[in-house]
Amino acid sequence: MELVGGTGDVTRIVCLGEAMLELSQMGEPGGVPADTAWRMGYGGDTLNTAIHLARFGHDVAYMTALGTDGLSGDLVEKWQAQGLDCSLVLRHPTRQPGLYAIATDDAGERTFSYWRDTSAARALFEGGPVMGEALARSCAEVGGADLLSFSLISLAILPDTGREALLDLARDVRAKGGKVALDGNYRTRLWDDAATARHWRDAAIAVADFGLPTLEDETQISGEDTAEAVAVHWQELGCGETVVKLGAQGCRLPDGTLLAPPQRLDPVDTSGAGDAFNAGYLAGRLRGIGPASSAAAGHAIAGWVIMRRGAIPDRDHGAPYGAPAAAAPSG
């Protein structure tokens, strides 16, 4: 695949989707009980990827809709502090951000509860007198991006008109020479049924240059039970380059090679692991680094994330945010 930039280039990336307020458990064994200690933060699959990409040194804008309330303003300030360009964040006059809570068991596995049915992000492409002018300006700017990244969740939260608008935006990016990345995040509760989800997933795959599905999700949505079957399906639908995520087992590269993480970890919290992998992989590919080395960068950042609480842990000295495998071989 022809890449957006070469090694060392800073590319313009737009990540689009829903970001929400996050309640996550803080308790540690022997400390405050986990079910009584909660931390307020923020998260969302495409937002998590956006922040990691910004930490890798890319120019990243986030496109979503929030409210005009104080919590929405606080979210924008926090995202800007993470290095995101928030000029594409629309403000809905009567809606607020969604909320989700993460309960984590002793194995680091998560249970989510959501309050998002009337979130501002669901009205992102509403237009009209509410946000029409701001939406038109934002879409025009997105059209000039080097990369547009969104997920199946980004589509799931929208009405059909919004879904069509998002896919049209992806087509516009490609028509102007940019690339499109699609994460196949499938959440059953966000769809009326699997057939509807498959329809929109397939339409999105057809406009994607980088496909980042997860085997578990694909098995649920359409029955493929091997990474190879998933990759073949995505490629047949038109996706240029597909990496199938396999959780703790690693990933299947576009050439069919299986790449495992360097070591098996005992996770503290698996929130945002796939989102982090996406960022590491895309950061590498956009710098001209080959799929294997880019996937290794994805495994590194995902491994760092799952050993800390929350989908977006604070940076520390162990955070692997150098230019991903910049000196590594291209294969």
What is the domain-level CATH number for residue 65? 3.40.1190.20
Question: For position 36, what pLDDT does the model report?
Answer: 60
Is 110 a member of any domain?
yes
* Distance in Å from the first CA to the final CA of the chain: 13
Q: Tokens 């309050």 appear where?
A: 115
Longest dimension (CA), the chain: 56
Under 8 Å between Cβ of 43 and 328? no
Does 160 reside within a domain? yes
Residue 318: inside a domain? no
Q: Please report, in tens digits, the pLDDT of each residue of the chain (331 residues total).
A: 555 444 445 589 999 999 999 887 765 543 445 556 788 889 899 999 999 999 999 999 999 999 999 999 999 999 999 999 999 999 999 999 999 887 777 776 778 888 999 999 999 999 888 789 999 999 999 999 999 999 999 999 999 999 999 999 999 999 999 999 999 999 999 999 999 999 999 999 999 999 999 999 999 999 999 999 999 999 999 999 999 999 999 999 999 999 998 888 888 877 889 999 999 999 999 999 999 999 999 999 999 998 888 778 888 878 999 865 543 433 4
Report pLDDT for 27. Answer: 57
Establish if 321 belongs to a structural domain.
no
Active site residues: 275
| CA 197/CA 144 separation, integer angstroms | 28
Query: Is residue 315 domain-resident?
Result: no
Name the pTM for this structure.
Answer: 0.90
Expressed as residue numbers, the domain containing 203 is: 12-306
The answer to whether residue 322 sits within a structural domain is no
| CA–CA distance, 214 with 69 (Å, rounded to integer) | 35
Does a structural domain hold residue 320? no
Q: For residue 316, is it within any domain? A: no
Q: Where are the beta strands (DSSP E) in 169-261?
A: 179-183, 210-212, 241-242, 244-245, 251-252, 258-259
Q: Which residues pair with 219 in a beta bridge?
A: none
What is the number of domains present in the chain? 1
Place of tokens 């405050």: 32
> Could you give the CA distance from residue 140 to residue 143 in angstroms, rounded to a whole number?
5
